Amino acid sequence: MKQGIYDHFHPEEKPFVDRALEWIERSAQQHELKRTDFLDPRQAQMVTMLANRNPDVIVRFDGGYPQAERQRAMIGPDYRDLDSEDAGISVLAVHGGPGQARLELDHGDFLGALLGLGIKRDRIGDIHVHGQFCHIIVTDEIADYLNIHLRQVHRVNVMTDVIPLTELLTIIPKLEEMSLSVASLRLDGIASDVYRVSRSKIVDPIRAGRCRVNWKAEEDPSSPLRSGDVVSFKGLGRFKVIEVDGVTKKGRIRVRIGKFI
């Protein structure tokens, strides 16, 4: 039974599939409400797919705001009103200490500081970096701990507050658009053009498991990309295939790409 389910997922996703199936079975059979930690979009998609196989279970996702990338799932029996359940989300506001008007820090600096305090990645939601402050979405369970212990981010002294979710100020990621003319929609070909490195240098990180397409590991350099795909490389950043825009007279494919900045 389970082997048939595994066939729909990448081998490295098997442990998460097992955990998600356990959450769903406990909700269906023992009438439990499960509130997960933050899931990335691929994990949320997997939970949805698995929950849809069980008519006795319903799921709601909440990341603190409508466009949230990372979200907590609430999994419960089908008779339960999940809309009235608290998602358990807090907002940690981080700002500079005395005399620190601007925080010259980026997303990675804040994430690294949190992980350095022993916080697991799945306890952290989206991070919104503004010029003078940062709003970090976290689980309720760690908000007070961070409010006490987060006092430095990449050598910058900081102060913190836990603020109401209604005061969250979000930043929707911006895309730097570029137009490419490519021979095919292969992952390695498009990625080498986006990052301006040779195809041979882009193949190694793909085969080493450092590339994800739509938050799912992709180790095949020849895998074709489609409109809407989000591609990420460790250390290189992310891009989105905005549109596949026809074929040129010379038979090349026009593609519109957006790099996350």
Which residue in this structure is represented by tokens 């690294």? 112
Which residues 6+ apart lie within 8 Å of 31 measured at CB?
77
At 181, is the pLDDT very low, low, confident or very high (cuts 50, 70, 90)?
Answer: very high
The SS3 of residue 160 is strand
Q: What is the pLDDT of residue 5?
A: 85
Q: Domains of the chain (ranges plus CATH)?
A: 2-84 (3.30.1370.160), 89-167 (3.30.70.330), 175-260 (3.10.290.10)
Residue 160 is predicted with a pLDDT of: 97
Summarised one tens digit per residue, pLDDT across range 81-92 is 999 999 999 999
Bridge partners, residue 60, by sequence: 74
Name the band, by pLDDT with cuts 50, 70 and 90, for residue 150. very high
Residue type, 212: R
Report the alpha-carbon distance of residue 166 to residue 17 in Å, rounded. 34
Q: For position 220, what pLDDT does the model report?
A: 95
Reported as a pLDDT band with limits 50, 70 and 90, residue 3 is: low
Residues with Cβ < 8 Å from 66, sequence gap 6 or more?
none
Helix residue ranges per DSSP H, the chain: 2-6, 14-30, 41-51, 107-116, 140-149, 187-195, 199-207
| Contacting residues for 120 by C-beta, under 8 A, at least 6 apart | 37
Is the distance from CB of 230 to CB of 215 less than 8 angstroms?
A: yes
pLDDT, average across residues 9-24: 91
Average confidence (pLDDT) over 200-215: 93
At residue 174 the predicted structure's pLDDT band, cuts being 50, 70 and 90, is confident
- Reply yes or no on whether the pLDDT at 1 is more than 60: no
What DSSP element (H or E) covers 153?
strand 152-153
Helix (H, G, I), strand (E, B) or coil at 16: helix
Average pLDDT over residues 40-46: 92
Rounded percentage of the chain residues whose pLDDT exceeds 70: 98
Question: Which one is predicted more confidently, 101 or 172?
Answer: 172
pLDDT of residue 52: 95
C-alpha 150/C-alpha 41 separation (Å) is 27
Q: What integer is the mean pLDDT of 17-32?
A: 95
Q: What is the mean pLDDT of the chain?
A: 93
For the segment 94-142, what is each residue's pLDDT rounded down to a tens digit? 998 777 767 888 888 999 999 999 999 999 999 999 989 999 999 999 9
> What percent of the chain shows pLDDT beyond 90?
80
